[in-house]
Amino acid sequence: MSGRRAIIVGGDAAGMSAASQMRRVDPMLEVIVFEKGDYVSYGACGMPYYIAGEIARADDLLALRPEEFSERGIDVRTGHEVLEVRAGARVITGKSIAGHAFSERFDYLVLATGGRAKVPSLPGADLVGVHTLRSLNDGIALREALDRGQVRRAVIVGAGFIGLELAEALCKRGVRVCLLSRSDYLLGSFGRDFAQPLFDELSRHGVDFVTRESVNVIEEADGRVAAVVTDRGRYAADLVLLATGLEPGVELARSAGLALGCSGAIAVDDRMKTDTVGIWAAGDCIEVKHVVTGEPVHVPLALTANRTGRIAGDQVGAASAGKTSAQRFRGTAGTLIAKVFDYTAAQTGLTLPAAERAGYSAAVFSQKSHTRAAYYPGTQPLWLRIVVDRRTRRLLGAQILGREGVAGRIDVFATALFKRMSVDEIYDLDLAYAPPYGPVYDPIIDICGRAMLEL
Q: Which residues are the active-site residues?
A: 45
What is the rounded distance in angstroms from the CA atom of residue 161 to the CA atom of residue 174?
A: 20
DSSP assignment of 60-129 equals: GGBSS-HHHHHHTTEEEEETEEEEEEETTTTEEEEEETTS-EEEEE-SEEEE---EEE-----TTTTSBT
What is the rounded distance in angstroms from the CA atom of residue 267 to the CA atom of residue 298?
A: 10
Maximum distance among all alpha carbons in the chain?
Answer: 70
Beta strands in 5-60 (DSSP E): 5-9, 30-35
Q: Do 253 and 285 contact (CB within 8 A), yes or no? A: yes
What is the rounded distance in angstroms from the CA atom of residue 61 to the CA atom of residue 400?
A: 28
Closest among 38, 39, 34 to 84, alpha carbons compared: 34
Strands of the sheet containing 266-267, edge to edge, are: 266-267, 286-289, 296-297
What is the rounded distance in angstroms from the CA atom of residue 75 to the CA atom of residue 69?
A: 7
Q: Do 179 and 210 contact (CB within 8 A), yes or no? A: yes
